[in-house]
Structure formats: structure tokens, C-alpha cells
A and B are shown apart, each in its own frame.
Chain A
Amino acid sequence: MQAVQVRGAVRFIILSELVIPFLLLILGVALGLYQVLARAGILRTPDFLGINYYQGLTLHGVINAVVFTTFFAVAFGNALMLHQLQRPLRTGVQWVSWVLMVGGTLMAAWAMLTGRATVLYTFYLPMVAHWTFYVGAALLLVGSLVPFFFDWLPSVVAWRRENPNARLPLAVLGILITFTLWFLIFLPLATTVVFQMIPLSLGLIKETNVLLSRTLFWFFGHALVYFWLLPSYIMLYVMLPKVAGGKLYSDPAARFAFLLFLFFSIPVGLHHQYTEGGLSAGWKLWHAFLTFMVALPSFITAFTVAASLEHSGRVNGGRGLFGWMAKLPYWDVRGDKWLFPYFIAGLILFLAGGITGIVNASYNLNLIVHNTAWVVGHFHTTVGGLVTLSFLGMTLYLLTKLRGVDLKAKPLAMAAPYLWMVGFLIFEVALSITGLQGVPRRSNLGISYLDPNNELLYRPDWLFWSHVGALGGVIAVLGFVSYMVSFFGTLFAKPVRQPAVEFPIAEAIHDQPTPFVLNLRPWVVATLLLIAVSYTYPLYEAVARGTLANVPGYQSIGNNLVPMQALGEQTRLPQ
């Protein structure tokens, strides 16, 4: 497939969808550094550069996990559609999407930076943030769906009409599934945001149902991780084998994995609510079962990716049972092979994240680790590992193509993912251990449990591994700094060729058309049915059976959270 020339508005839109979230990510990472230092008792302050710890935690979560990932998914989808279907993007649609996403992000950023939305990335009720936070977040999400509905889908339909006998390119199928998933989970989130959070934040209502809001949030919130992960999987299937010098092991297996993700990834949200009341244990177990099933496509991916890498290693001259492993381009400065470190480092981190994730999903085993530092270790090797590394690698790659420049500071760009990997492996081990010791996630430990002056709470037995965790965090940040040097060098480098979009696309070894993975429609119908089965009764419990009464929302006034009305007789708890 040939490179597609890009210029004008489309080029600006895709470039800025990569650069704007990256600029915010710098703040997000800086705050992450403050958090590891505070959580090791090294920094013992409630604020850092005028930003309160929990305000910073909100910014760190929202920027790194929502803003950066959403912008990247849209930019990546735009570039892939452009290249894989060889059709132009619709500039008008793209501008609408861009304005919504950038406008929404600025609104939410204002609310968070001015301390009006210190409600963390999960924005749980009954804490109520300023309305601009909810509206901003909603606009970002709506904006991210605009290209999918009004640009990509029409292009796919037109492409199908022109190529009636051709299979949809694998990468296009991956993007379609990613955004179908995104749209399906957008609906429950929009429900709680529009009907519960925004009216509360505007003062139109004073009370709310917390369990319902949580259930709707996690209906969205866990499938969200597959929205992060699927673009990475597209890269692993479609691009990694090519970069490694070989072929994709199996095209039908890749399609099957994507479809299984669509089917299983949404009705799993109760595994975030294992330890709360008001929901039946039977339904929690059902969601635990489905969470285990969603590990299946990841196992398929592990097999296919390993097989593709083995094939590549053998093509490169590797011999014997393990000899091929030595023949992969771990450090190869030729062409675009510098991308390989981003993928392999991400995969190694993801191995750790996958194992800890299975522990988290394990129903009663979760009681040992729920809301402890263990969980923080887990998601810094999944979303903070494979997802972040592949997104950063691809951002840099697209930057060189869209600007028509060569990658600057290549050794730094190649060292970055390895530093990040070493840092987060240390971090993962340390936080798993502190998690098992009982260290809570989210708390500013520096001014409580790890402050030697705090006679009531001081826990010297938590110090050692918390320090090891901080060391891991610092190494990862060094990786990020070396990435930044290469990023800005590349951003401001002199163009040496025409800007164009192209991707390394691997051929497949096993490529026979398999009918059941080619038609999307029955999979979407089955997905909707499974969601309906899995969520109808839990939602009934959240609304009618498990929730005893609605409770007041709490708004932050100064340093205090204040109920939005005096407690009514019906909701008063004797003290």
C-alpha cells in the first residue's frame, strides 16, 4: 500500500491531536513523579508547585488515562483509515471533532487546575465537581466519536461497495471494533453524567444514588481499558511483525481476538465493585467469569505475537529452540526499526500486568488487594506499560511521517522504552509488595503513614518497598525525559521530504478467509445480548433493591466537603 500525501487542515488536525495531549502528558508525568516521592515519604507536603496532592492525582489520572489515550486513538484511527482505505478524510467532520475535543479538554483542565474538580479520575459521586468538568469530559468523548460515525463508517461503506470481494484490512477492523466498543460504553457513562452529575453540579437536584452512579461508571470504566488496549493490539498484529522483519502468524486468529474483545469486554464492570454492598454476589461471580473469558483473546494475542516474533527471528537467521530470540531488532538504528523497543518493552511489562490483573479479577482473592498499592502497580504495567509505550512510539513515528522529517536523537528515543520498562518493573514489584502489606492506593502517605512525626499513623515497615517504588518511578521518568528530547527535536526538525502517512504493514502466514470472523453484525448483536443479560439485574438492584435511599451530593467549599442540603428525615443516619 502506498504512502498517502497529507497537507493543509487534515495534516494539522492529526498532528495537533498528537501534540496537544503530549504537552498535557508532560504535566501528568511531572505530577506522577511528585506522587511516587510523596508516597515514599520523601516529599512530605500536601501540595507541589501549588497543586494539592489529590488535585494532582485527578490531573494525573484524567490526562494520562483519558485525554492522552482518547486523542491518540482518534489520531491513530484517522491516519490508519487514510492509509488503509486510501480515501481522503472529511475535513469538515474532522474540524467538528477537533473543536469538541480540544474545547472539552480545555474546560475540564480549567476545572481541575483551579481546584474545582478534585474528584479523581473515577469522579465518584456523591462528591460533586464544577459542571465544566463533566461537560468538558462529555465533549471530549462526543468529539472522539464524531470521526467514527461521520467519516470512517461512511468511508468503509464506500470502500466495501468498490471492493465487494475484498476483506476489510485487519487494521481497519481493529479500529472499527475499538470505536464500536467506545460507543457502547459511552452510553452508560453519558447516562450518569447527564442525568446524575450535571444536574447535581448545577444545583438542579440535591440528592443522588451513589451505587447507581458507580455501577454505570464501571459499566464504562473497565471496558475503557480495552479501548486503550485495542489500538496497541492493532500495532502488535499489523505492524510489529513487519518491524521485526517477519510476518503475522495468523490473520484469522487476529480477527477472532478482536471480536472476542468486543463480545466479552463490556459486561465485566462489577469486578470493580466486588467489596461493596447492594449488589448480589452471584452477579459479581458472573462478571468474574466474563472477566476471565476476556483474558482469552489476550492469550490468543500472546500466542500469535510470540509466533510472529519467532518467525521474524528465524527469517533474520535465528536457529534452534531459543536462538531466534537473539535475532530480534532490540537495538537497530536502520529505518523504522527503532519502533521495536517500544513494542517489546511494552509486551514485557504487559506480562506482569496480565498476571496481576488475573489476581484482581479473581473474585474473593481480590479482597487481599482491593484498593491497595497492588492495583496501582497493576495498571502502571498495563495502561502505563504496553499502552503508553506503544502510543508514545507511534506518536513519534507519525510525527516523523506527518512532518516529513527524520527521527532526531534516535539513541535517546530507543533508550526511552527500556528505561520506562525497567522503571515500571521495579515499580510493579515494589507496589505489589506494599499492596500486600496493606498500603492504600490514592493516599498522600508522605503526610500520614510515612511521616515519622506522625505518632498515630507512622508505619516504618512500609518504608523500604515504598522507597524502591519511588526509585522505579524516577527511572521511568528518566525514560520519559529522554523521549521528550527526541520528541521536541523531531517536532522542530527541518523537513527533508513530503509529509505523507504510511505504516509498516505485515503480511500474514496463515491468511485463509474464515467466514465467522468476517461479518461484524452477528457479533454486535451477541454483544448487546450479553450486556443486557449481565447488567439488567445489577442495575435493578442499584436502583431499587440495594440502595436504601438517595443521599445528598457533597460540594467542596474551601478545604471542606459540604452536603448540598441539610439531611432530610428520610436519609438521616443516627449517630
Chain B
Amino acid sequence: MDLFEKRAFAMALSLLLVFLGLIVYAAKGLQTDLPTCLPPETARQFRKDVGSVVEIGPNRYQVNVVAFMWGFNMGTVNELRVPRGAVVDFYVTSRDVMHGYHIERTPVNLMAIPGAVTYARHKFDEPGEYMIICHEYCGLGHQNMAGKIIVE
């Protein structure tokens, strides 16, 4: 390799490592991490409680979502109301085929896979309506599979 190639290589590598450093900082420092593999006992518990909202602390909620063709059961089907400023833990699985669970304007963006449980946490500071969109193909009714979260 000549000098220019070495420089280009070093610059590319440093750029990628800087990006990677920022990702790790965002994940571990700012706590914007991805869902991990839950201990099987914990995951099994959530699967038993699917379709429910549990208040686990002052303005903190755990929502156990089960997706199905074609809706989301979160205690009530396709609708969830939480107070402003609520911190909500979403645990998501599916009862039949694969589905998606994306709450617009938030980083809650999950895959509902039958047989596995995934999760995300979000604090709802802005009141309003947030659409929950199924973004994984799940049969001919897929395009109509959507719910909403109303932050009051």
C-alpha cells in the first residue's frame, strides 16, 4: 500500500471507531440500549400476564402487550391511556405470526415474535396521541393493524 492508501485506510478506520464509540456511549452511558435476552423465568411471567397494564410505582407502568392478527391487546385492544410524564415499560410478544410494534415519534420500535419476549422503556413527556404501527407483514389485514397511546 502506498502512503495515500495508508492514510485513507487509517481515516476510514478512525471514523468508524468514533461512530462506534458514540453508539456505545449512547447505549451504556445514556441508557438507550437494545432489548436483551430476558431470563426465561422472567419472560415466561410476562407471557402469562399479556394483555394487561400494571402500575408498578408512582406514574410508572408495565404494559404487557400481545399482538395478534390484527391488533394489540394491552388490557384494552388497540388503546392505552397514560398520564403525562409516565414512564412505561412495554413487554411485547405475539400470539400467532410475527408483528411489529412501533410507537411513532419514539424509539419504541419492537418485533413481536411468537415464542420470545422483547421490551423497551419510554417516558411520555408530550401529551397527545401516538399511533402504534404494526410494521411487520402479518397477512392480508396487515395495513390496518394499528393502535394508539393517548398521553393525557
Chain A residues packing against B (C-beta within 8 Å): 46, 52, 54, 57, 120, 124, 126-127, 209-211, 214, 250, 252-253, 256, 273-282, 284-285, 288-289, 292-293, 295-296, 299-300, 303-304, 307, 358, 362-365, 367-368, 370-372, 437-438, 440-445, 447-449, 456-457, 459, 510, 541, 545-551, 554, 556, 559-561, 563, 571, 573-575
B8 A303 Cβ-Cβ under 8 A: yes
Closest A-B pairs by Cβ, 9 of them = A277-B118, A299-B12, A278-B116, A438-B104, A440-B135, A281-B36, A448-B143, A371-B135, A276-B111
On whether the beta carbons of A573 and B95 are closer than 8 Å, the reply is yes
Which chain A residue shows the least CB distance to B66?
A573
Of A292, A299, A443, which one neighbours B8 at CB under 8 angstroms? A299
Is A443's CB under 8 angstroms from B135's CB? yes
Q: Which residues of B contact A573 (CB under 8 A)?
A: 47, 50, 66, 93, 95
Which single member of B13, B40, B73, B111 contacts A545 (CB below 8 Å)? B40
- The answer on a CB contact under 8 Å between A443 and B37 is no
B140 and A54 contacting across the interface, CB-CB below 8 Å:
yes
A547 to B19, Cβ gap below 8 A?
Answer: no
CB distance from A212 to the nearest CB of B (A): 9
Number of A-B pairs, beta carbon distance below 8 Å: 221
Which residue of A293, A368, A456, A556 is within 8 Å of B16 (Cβ)?
A293
Q: What is the bound-complex CA distance between A437 and B16, given in angstroms?
A: 27
**Chain B stretch 1-43: residues in CB contact (< 8 A) with chain A:** 1-2, 4-5, 8-9, 12-13, 16, 19-20, 23-24, 26-27, 32-38, 40, 43
10 interchain pairs (CB within 8 A)?
A: A278-B117, A281-B35, A296-B9, A296-B16, A371-B136, A551-B114, A551-B115, A554-B97, A561-B139, A575-B66
When chains A and B are docked, how far (Å) is the Cα of A440 from the Cα of B133? Answer: 7
* CA gap between A353 and B8 in the complex, in Å: 20
Whether B117 pairs with A275 at a CB distance below 8 angstroms is no
Is B33 touching A364 in the complex (CB atoms < 8 A)?
yes
A213 CB to nearest chain B CB (Å)? 10
Contact A277 B19 (CB under 8 A): no
Cα of A278 to Cα of B51 in the assembled complex, Å:
20
CA distance A126 to B20 in the complex (A): 34
A277 pairs with B8, CB closer than 8 A: no
User: Binding site of A, secondary structure by majority: helix, strand, loop or mixed?
Assistant: mixed
Known: A211-B113, A554-B97. A367 touches B107 (CB 8 A): yes
A288 contacts which chain B residues (CB < 8 A)? 20, 23
Q: A279-B37, A280-B36, A364-B32 are in contact. List 17 more A-B contacts (CB 8 A).
A: A124-B98, A276-B110, A277-B111, A277-B117, A278-B37, A278-B115, A288-B20, A292-B16, A307-B4, A364-B34, A371-B100, A442-B135, A545-B40, A561-B96, A561-B97, A563-B96, A574-B48
Q: Which residues of chain A come closer than 8 Å to B38, judged between CB atoms?
A: 277-278, 546
Whether B69 sits at the interface, judged by CB under 8 Å, is yes
When C-beta atoms are compared, the residue in chain A nearest to B119 turns out to be A277
* B60 at interface, CB cutoff 8 A: no
Chain B contacts for A367, CB-based, 8 A: 32, 34, 107-109, 120
What chain A residues lie within 8 Å of B69 (beta carbons)? 561
> Shortest beta-carbon distance, A436 to chain B, in Å?
10
Cβ of A273 to closest chain B Cβ, rounded Å: 8
Does B44 lie at the interface of the complex (its beta carbon under 8 Å from any beta carbon of A)?
yes
Report the Cα distance A282→B24, complex, angstroms.
Answer: 11
Given A120-B137, A281-B35, A573-B50, does the pair A550, B115 have CB atoms closer than 8 Å? yes
Complex partner residue of B27 from A285, A547, A559, CB under 8 angstroms = A285
Give which listed residue, A281, A445, A548, contacts B34 with CB less than 8 A: A281
* Chain B 82-98 interface mask (CB, 8 Å, partner A; 1/0): 00000000001101111
| Interface size range of chain B in the complex | 35 or more
Q: Is the CB of B116 within 8 A of A547?
A: yes
Partner of B37 from the list A289, A299, A444, A546 (CB cut-off 8 Å) is A546
State the Cβ distance, B138 to closest chain A Cβ, in Å. Answer: 8
Interface flag for B76 (CB, 8 Å): no
Give the residue of A252, A274, A358, A362 whose beta carbon is less than 8 angstroms from that of B1: A252
Alpha-carbon distance between A556 and B2 when the two chains are bound, in angstroms = 59
Chain A residue numbers with a CB within 8 Å of B27 are 281, 285, 363-364
- The answer to whether the Cβ of B53 comes within 8 Å of any Cβ in the partner chain is no
- B144 at interface by CB-CB < 8 Å: yes
Pair B9/A438 contact, Cβ less than 8 Å: no
Docked Cα-Cα span, A551 to B93, in Å, equals 12
Option from A300, A307, A440, A571 in Cβ contact (under 8 Å) with B12: A300
**CB-CB < 8 A to A299: which residues of B?**
8-9, 12
Give the chain B neighbours of A438 by CB distance below 8 A: 102, 104-105, 131, 133
Residues 42-74 of B contacting A (Cβ, < 8 Å): 43-44, 47-48, 50-51, 66, 69, 73
Residues of B within 8 A of A448 (CB): 143-144, 146
- With a cutoff of 8 Å between Cβ atoms, the chain A residues found around residue B100 in the complex are 371, 440
Cross-chain contact A371 with B109 (CB below 8 angstroms): yes
> Are A549 and B115 in contact (CB-based, < 8 A)?
yes
Evaluate contact between B115 and A362: CB separation under 8 angstroms: no
* Known A292-B19, A548-B117: A575·B95 in contact at CB below 8 Å: yes
Residue among A295, A443, A554 making CB contact with B142, cutoff 8 Å = A443
Cα–Cα, bound, A214→B97 (Å): 13
Given contacts A280-B37, A440-B100, A573-B66, whether A365 and B23 have CB atoms under 8 Å apart is yes
